[in-house]
Amino acid sequence: MQAIRKHKFVHILDDPGSADLSAYVDFAAIKHSAMEASDDISVHGPMTQSQLLGSLGINFRVEALMQNCDEKQAESLRTGYWRLVGDGEAPFWEGPDDQTPIGMGSRYLAMAIVNKKQGSPVPF
């Protein structure tokens, strides 16, 4: 398990609630365990955060927001978008090197475990 605050790793118990928590997950083991637990279970994924957010329409949302914003807001949207769906350092960044947005689009994964009666959840 790890905690990240303002794009830096911090101790997971340092000021609880002020950092994002994540963990390295064995998705194959979780999928196997879920499917072994019940015949009524359906497992979807994993898929990358970029695929998940893309399927949910992040591109359309950012495009719509860019229609009505000033340049400072547009830069904030581009930077935030890259952090969520990009991979590696942002190619468009013109600010200080130590603040270059690093994309998490392929670093984080999502999986859904549902009852088969529910069908496939969006966006899987």
Region of residue 87 (phi > 0: left; psi between -120 and 50: alpha; otherwise: beta): beta
Looking at residue 42, its pLDDT comes to 95
pLDDT block averages, 10 residues each, the chain of length 124? 87 92 92 96 96 97 95 94 92 83 90 95 92
Extended strands (E) in the chain: 2-5, 8-10, 20-22, 41-48, 87-89, 102-104, 109-115
pTM above 0.85, yes or no: no
